[in-house]
Amino acid sequence: MDPTIEAVEGDITTQRLDAIVNAANSSLLGGGGVDGAIHAAAGPALLRECRELRAGRYRDGLPVGEAVATGAGDLPARWVIHTVGPNRHRGQTDPALLAACFTHSLDVATELGAGSIAFPAISAGVYGWDADEVARVAVDAVRGRVDGGEPVPGLIRFVLFGQRVHDAFRAALQA
């Protein structure tokens, strides 16, 4: 059975799903926007796990487009999957880098056995990507996995902050 792919306007930190995706910065230690909100809502356990990742495998930070999971601390989700989106202001304009954030997060979710996952609009906003382009790249990346028959969670939800971004994702899903 094909997974459900949907877009909702809301707060990703309140999602009662197996995994939520954090639009992290490479330090993994919190920041602004979605990253800051997730770290604030998750509490100190999330920061501890991220510090452990930085002390080990990701001493130089998480590279753009890659994804790694931690527990979710005080969040209602089971896991947080951290991915670093490309920053247009730093010349990172390749849509393949952005698509990798979504596909690598799906890979991690599948490895975890997650039946559901929530994505924010990675790289939209402060990283300078247009919401319409992010929506198109994200939806194409997810649909590519589904159409390719690769295993993905049964529910893939885009949880979007603000009507403008939500409208962009709804339009991409209807295309």
- Amino acid at site 63: P
CB atoms within 10 A of CB 140: 16
| Cβ atoms of 79 and 73 closer than 8 Å | no
- Is 74 labeled as catalytic in the residue annotation? no
Residues 6+ apart with CB under 8 A from 126: 32, 33
**pTM of model > 0.75:** yes
Could you tell me the two tokens for 62?
């998480």
Which residue has 């604030």 as its token pair? 40
pLDDT in tens, 12-59: 999 999 999 999 999 999 998 999 999 999 999 999 999 999 999 999
- DSSP-derived letter for residue 92 is -
Domains of the chain: 4-174 (3.40.220.10)
**Given the residues 11, 35, 130, 140, the one annotated as active site:** 35
pLDDT in tens, 148-170: 999 999 999 999 999 999 999 99
Confidence of residue 1 (pLDDT cuts 50, 70, 90): confident
